[in-house]
Amino acid sequence: MCATELPRIMDLDTAYIEPLIKEWLQHVHEDNARQEQIFVEGSEFFNPFIAVPVPVMKAIFVITDHLGLGPNTRYLTVHLFDRFMSNQFCELYVAEMVSNPGEVAWPQICKIISSEAKLRLMSCMQLASKMDSHTKGLSISQVVRGLRWLDDKSEYTTNSIYCSEFRVYKALDFKIPLFTPLHCVEILLAATKLGQMPKIYDACVNLLDLAYLEHERLYSCLVFLMKQRFSEFQIDPGYIMALESNVLYLAAAVVLCATFILAVEHSETERLVQMLSNQVGIRVTNIWEMANLLFTIALQEDTPEQ
């Protein structure tokens, strides 16, 4: 747990924001529905988190922490880099198919992507920092510091950094998500009137960090439980991808798990999970499952090795 309380994105005084909560939730629901439709139809080449394995995720967390950026910036960086890398791969693949329809030169494609990855990662972080706070957006000198930490053998000019940022923004179709899981956590804390509970916000941020760093483990366990429960059915891959991208589902599980960490009475957690279910439109059982998995991982992370 952090020694000092982390700054929040929004004021969680419910008297101030309560009139907006319903509209915020409706917007996130609509965005989730659009994303789920894309996955079910397979209309876009995108597989969530495929471009951000654990080493990349850890690098993002370390650099954002070193540069004094908040948790929302690191989550947004992960999503922008993941989306950009998928778009770039698809673009290069299509170009290669057009120029060499008989055989795709995979080594060449991988070489191009790898050679640009570090600069593109910092460009995603630069965009994320500006989206999170226009007054605290990464400067060129800070981007250079991050690049030196990632790759001290290469030199990057100011012009190359400017061009890379525009290249990434254009590849993202000039679209950046308005909501991250942290926004959703704050909305749910306000909706359930838990926002003023001591230490709950820091607990939620720590659990979100863990959910990102242990993403593959968390969701593979979740899918395993689903397959056990519905063994006679084939789970659609599009549904699983939609599940991984459902920020409200993750946020609800994080808020519930935080009450486990803070030892809230069981009767209160039962009431809370029903409230969360009503707010996010996900069954109580599913929220319990995700929260319990996250709690188990958190306990294992805190247990010293023998």
Tokens found for residue 264:
């809230």
User: CA–CA separation, 304 vs 300, rounded Å?
Assistant: 8
Report the share of the chain in percent with pLDDT over 90.
53
> To 5 degrees, how large is the angle CA 254–CA 252–CA 134?
75
User: CA–CA separation, 145 vs 127, rounded Å?
Assistant: 16
User: What phi, psi does 246 have (nearest 5°)?
Assistant: -80, 95
Higher-pLDDT residue of 10 and 242 is: 242
Determine if the pTM surpasses 0.85: yes
User: CA–CA separation, 77 vs 237, rounded Å?
Assistant: 25
User: CA–CA separation, 81 vs 120, rounded Å?
Assistant: 8
pLDDT digits (tens, 9 = 90+) for 135-150: 778 999 999 999 999 8
> How much is the pLDDT for 49?
92
| Model confidence at 80: pLDDT above 50 | yes
| Model confidence at 306: pLDDT above 50 | no
| Model confidence at 11: pLDDT above 70 | no
The least confident of 84-93, 108-117, 226-235, 263-272 is 226-235
Mean pLDDT of 164-193: 92
Mean pLDDT of 40-66: 88
pLDDT digits (tens, 9 = 90+) for 200-255: 999 999 999 999 999 999 999 998 888 887 766 677 777 888 888 899 999 999 99
Confidence class of residue 2 from pLDDT cuts 50, 70 and 90? very low
Q: Is residue 217 within 8 Å of residue 151, measured between CB atoms?
A: no
DSSP structural state of residue 100? -
Within 10 A of 3 (CB to CB), how many other CB atoms are there?
5
Tokens found for residue 95:
């170009």
DSSP string, 150-198: H-TT----HHHHHHHHHHHHHHTTT---S--HHHHHHHHHHHTT-TTST
Contacts of 283 (CB under 8 A, 6+ apart): 277
> How much is the pLDDT for 197?
85
Question: How large is the angle between the packed helices 200-213 and 71-99, nearest 10 degrees?
Answer: 20
